[in-house]
Amino acid sequence: MKLSKGQMGGRLLGLMVAGVALVTGGTALAELGQPAPWEYGLQGAASPVMESITYFHDWLLIVITVITLFVLGLLVTVVIKFNAKANPVPSRTTHNTLIEIIWTLGPVLILMAIVVPSFKLLFEELDLPKADLTIKATGKQWYWSYAYPDNGKFEFDSLLAQDKQPRLLGVDNEIVVPVDKVIRVQVTGADVIHSFAVPAFGIKIDAIPGRLNETWFKATKMGMFYGQCSELCGKNHAFMPIAVRVVSDQDFAAWVEVAKKKFASAPGNSFASAADVAQ
Ligand SMILES: [Cu+2]
């Protein structure tokens, strides 16, 4: 099928409109704290660190787009202006001081524009502010255990709940934290290497047996936030979700009172529930 220039333009325009519709539709579908169909970007931010990550990601996208368009422009110029027909007698220039200075300094400046916000973000992630609450997450094959050392030292297991929504993200016992408080998360593994990751909070840290890793988040929004073990820890790797319920201070205090009683005798249960999950 041969298309005229006009038809071609029409088709391209149609494709672009479809693309824009998809992009705006994808954004509209995005749900806070969990993945959504047709989502192509990062999950919505619900912590200062994730906001910085999103900002840095968008900044890099601008930088790489400008560079790519610039290189494309250069290539097109070369192809059109300097092909054998248009330019039969090529220049024999081998050195040009000005251009050499530009193409040395240019990349240095671009790298500086990347490295400064990059280090700022790294420090923000790794420099723990004074914590209001500490939670210890222990990765096990294939579920998580959470301990609340500040609030009566109770501990409980959190297993995938098949009947809960969102599918493969719902758990029986969620982590509960107060909103707008600095939560220190200590992460370790009880058997193999797992990884504790919650995209909306911008945290992802390895759970390594014999080591205590630390990260932090401050949830700026209330609601449910989901994550996953993001380490290849074994056959049920994909079935150990992380669910965090962010609530008000009062609701958190009320939950602590209930949880203290509910999980008073929990620590011994780990292995029984592990056997359930492994089946
Ligand atoms: Cu795991």
Do 121 and 142 belong together in one domain? no
Q: What is the secondary structure of the chain as a DSSP string? A: ----HHHHHHHHHHHHHHHHHHHHHHHHH-BTTB--TT--SPPPP-SHHHHHHHHHHHHHHHHHHHHHHHHHHHHHHHHHHSSTTT-SS-------HHHHHHHHHHHHHHHHHHHHHHHHHHHHHHSPPPPSEEEEEEEETTEEEEEETTTT-EEEEE-B-TTSSSTTT-BSS-EEEETTSEEEEEEEESSS-EEEEEGGGTEEEEE-BT--EEEEEE--S-EEEEEEE-S--STTGGG-EEEEEEE-HHHHHHHHHHHHHHTTT-GGGHHHHHHHHH-
Q: How far is the CA of 234 from the centre of ligand 1 (A)?
A: 7
What CATH number corresponds to the domain at position 23? Answer: 1.10.287.90
Tokens 């609601």, located at residue: 223
Q: How far is the CA of 151 from the centre of ligand 1 (A)?
A: 26
166 assigned to some structural domain: yes
Return the bridge partners of 241, or none.
Answer: 228
Q: How far is the CA of 148 from the centre of ligand 1 (A)?
A: 20
**What are the pLDDT digits (tens) for 146-184?**
999 998 889 999 999 999 989 999 999 999 999 999 999
212 assigned to some structural domain: yes
Q: How far is the CA of 134 from the centre of ligand 1 (A)?
A: 21
Q: How far is the CA of 166 from the centre of ligand 1 (A)?
A: 19
Do 148 and 94 belong together in one domain? no
Residue span of the structural domain in which 30 resides = 6-126
233 assigned to some structural domain: yes
Q: How far is the CA of 137 from the centre of ligand 1 (A)?
A: 12
**What are the pLDDT digits (tens) for 184-219?**
999 999 999 999 999 999 999 999 999 999 999 999
152 assigned to some structural domain: yes
Q: How far is the CA of 159 from the centre of ligand 1 (A)?
A: 12
205 assigned to some structural domain: yes
Domain boundary pick from 92, 126, 160: 126
- Count up the domains in the chain and report the number: 2
**Residue 31: per-residue pLDDT:** 73
pLDDT band per the 50, 70, 90 thresholds, residue 276? very low
Return the bridge partners of 56, or none.
Answer: none
Do 139 and 73 belong together in one domain? no
Q: How far is the CA of 227 from the centre of ligand 1 (A)?
A: 12
Residue 68, amino acid: T
**What are the pLDDT digits (tens) for 17-43?**
555 555 544 444 457 899 988 888 999
pLDDT band per the 50, 70, 90 thresholds, residue 10? low
Q: CB–CB of 188/207 below 8 Å?
A: yes
Q: How far is the CA of 93 from the centre of ligand 1 (A)?
A: 59
Q: How far is the CA of 226 from the centre of ligand 1 (A)?
A: 15
Do 155 and 89 belong together in one domain? no
Of 169, 177, 200, the residue nearest 30 (C-alpha): 200
Do 229 and 266 belong together in one domain? yes
In this structure, the chain runs to a length of 279
Q: How far is the CA of 193 from the centre of ligand 1 (A)?
A: 7
pLDDT band per the 50, 70, 90 thresholds, residue 4? low
106 assigned to some structural domain: yes
Return the bridge partners of 242, or none.
Answer: 227
Whether pLDDT at 241 is above 70: yes
Q: How far is the CA of 202 from the centre of ligand 1 (A)?
A: 18
Q: How far apart are CA 172 and CA 67, in angstroms?
A: 48
Q: How far is the CA of 136 from the centre of ligand 1 (A)?
A: 15
Do 155 and 184 belong together in one domain? yes
For the segment 243-254, the average pLDDT, to the nearest whole number, is: 97
